[in-house]
Amino acid sequence: MLATYLIGLREGLEATLVVSILVAFLVKSRRTDRLVQVWAGVGLAVGLSVVFGWLLSYTSTTLLQTYEHRELFEAITSIAAVVFVTWMIFWMRRAARSIAGQLRSKMTDALAVGSIAVAVMAFLAVVREGLETSLIFYSAVRGASVNGGPLYALIGGIATAVVIGYLMYATAVRINLSVFFKWTGVLLILVAAGILKYGVHDLQEAGVLSGLHDLAYDVSSVLDPAGWYTALLTGMFNLTPTASVLEIIAWVAYGLPVLFLFLMPSRPAVPAPVSQS
Amino acid sequence: MHNFRFVALAAVVILTACGDSQPPTEPIAVQASDTTCEVASTSADAGTIVFTVTNGGSKVTEFYVYAPGDRVMGEVENIAPGLSRELRVELPAGTYQTACKPGMTGKGVRSTFTVSG
């Protein structure tokens, strides 16, 4: 029962973390008008996952049916998600700078956020693991005639992930604006590096990249793959008990430069021009 | 509302597009526990092979099909206790290994699986 709950929690966190940061960011930067697009992206991703999961579980559809196609689907959506999240990270940096330069009133203008970009980011964050979650869900539904436990445990896990996402949002919107941009930015870099590592792992599993068994480390004796803390770490940062060398190379090659660029001190603030109004 | 309409439309498009299904393949049952991994058949004809993996154990398990050198041909993760999940994989003629990984760790419980062309 706990095992199924943890699967729901992990799969759920992979989606809710990015979405809750995105929502917090829009609320903090006073772009709540963009929230509609975020929820549209989330809704579309959930809808597609539910429909595809149903088709694969109950019909003989040929789309995304084989193992390789599914791994590729997850790899491509994950890597695309990293692109959008990276763009968001630098968007946060710009926001942080405009506060530092005391141009806070102009921040909203600087963040003329593309509504499609926001929707696509929310969509990718949810859809990349949505199909797998939906397939687990239907297998639990089919087993529910014998034993409904796993189904409720899975739903409970996903619900917990949503609650954690909400709590993160509620905490984030309360903290000081410049602290918010700095720390959520750093958090997001860790999340994005994890998503990239995940994408590389899937490309290795799909056979596009080799070296799946060349492990950089194996700490599964310490980090129990069945433990609740592993579910949390994997769901949030994709810190897995084992990782291939290539996964770690991707993680470092992405994470370090982005972190460096993000934290690089901003140039001395240009004195704010006197408002003419 | 707009979303729901889009999804419904997408569903119709996909259903129509996938009407021409290939001849049904008989799934091979795999019964997994915390220590065992019983594959109902040890051989099959080349082509798309479907494994239906049922987890009767208490740990989450995974099921793999390996080519020589542990190259992953197919894998299904997140098989929670009490659940049954499907792996659909293209296998050309050759000798493979099937493996269940109770607890998602280790080399797994292996057996040989032969595919003839």
Phi, psi of A244 (to 5 degrees): -80, 160
C-alpha angle A260/A233/A165, rounded to 5°? Answer: 90
Cβ-based contacts of A205 with chain B (< 8 Å): 72, 75
CB-based contacts of A199: which residues, under 8 Å, 6+ apart? A74, A75, A76, A78, A79, A82, A250
* Residues in chain A within 8 Å Cβ distance of B80: 3-4, 7, 136, 140, 150, 153-154
Is residue B18 assigned to a domain? no
CB of A100 within 8 Å of a chain B CB? The answer is: no
How close is the nearest chain A Cα to the Cα of B39, in Å? 19
Domain count, chain B: 1
pLDDT tens for chain A, 277 residues long, are 888 999 999 999 999 999 999 999 888 888 888 899 999 999 999 999 999 999 988 887 778 888 888 899 999 999 999 999 999 898 888 877 776 665 555 555 555 567 788 899 999 999 999 999 999 999 999 887 777 888 999 999 999 999 999 999 999 999 988 888 888 899 999 999 999 999 999 999 888 999 998 999 999 888 998 889 999 999 999 999 999 999 999 999 999 999 999 988 766 555 555 555 4
Cα–Cα dist A223/A229, whole Å: 8
Predicted pLDDT of residue A245: 96
Residues of A in contact with B99 (CB under 8 A): none
State the CATH number of the domain containing residue B56: 2.60.40.420
Judged by a CB distance cut-off of 8 A, whether residue A142 touches chain B is yes
Judged by CB atoms closer than 8 Å, whether chains meet at A226 and B104 is answered as yes
Residue B39 falls within a domain, yes or no?
yes
* pLDDT attached to residue A182: 86
What does pLDDT average to over chain A?
88
The tens digit of pLDDT for each residue in A68-125 reads: 888 999 999 999 999 999 998 988 888 777 766 655 555 555 555 677 888 999 999 9
> Is B99 a member of any domain?
yes
Nearest by CB to B74, from A55, A67, A143: name it.
A67
H/E run at residue B37 = strand B37-39
A226 contacts on B by Cβ (under 8 Å): 59-60, 103-104
Which residue among B22, B87, B103 places its CB closest to the CB of A67?
B87
B108 falls within a domain = yes
Nearest chain B Cα distance for residue A270, angstroms: 46
- Please, which residues have CB within 8 angstroms of residue B33's CB and are 6 or more apart in sequence? B55, B56, B57, B102
In tens, the pLDDT along B66-88 reads: 999 888 999 999 999 999 999 99
* Structural domain contains residue B83: yes
Helix, strand or coil, per DSSP, at residue A165:
helix
**Among candidates A118, A166, A115, A100, which has minimal Cα distance to A174?**
A166
A183's enclosing H/E stretch is: helix A177-205
Spatial distance between the Cα atoms of A209 and A205, rounded to a whole number of angstroms = 8
Cα torsion angle, A56, A62, A67, A69, sign: negative
pTM: 0.86
| Position B94 in a domain | yes
Domain assignment of residue B34, given as a range: 26-116
Instruction: Identify whether B48 is part of a domain.
Output: yes
Q: Has residue B49 been placed in a domain?
A: yes
Report, in angstroms and rounded to the nearest whole number, the Rg of chain A calculated over CA atoms: 20
Q: Which of A115-119, B7-11, B19-23 has the lowest mean pLDDT?
A: B19-23
Mutate which: A6, A42, A50, A62, vs B, most B CBs within 10 A: A62
Residue B16 has what pLDDT?
45
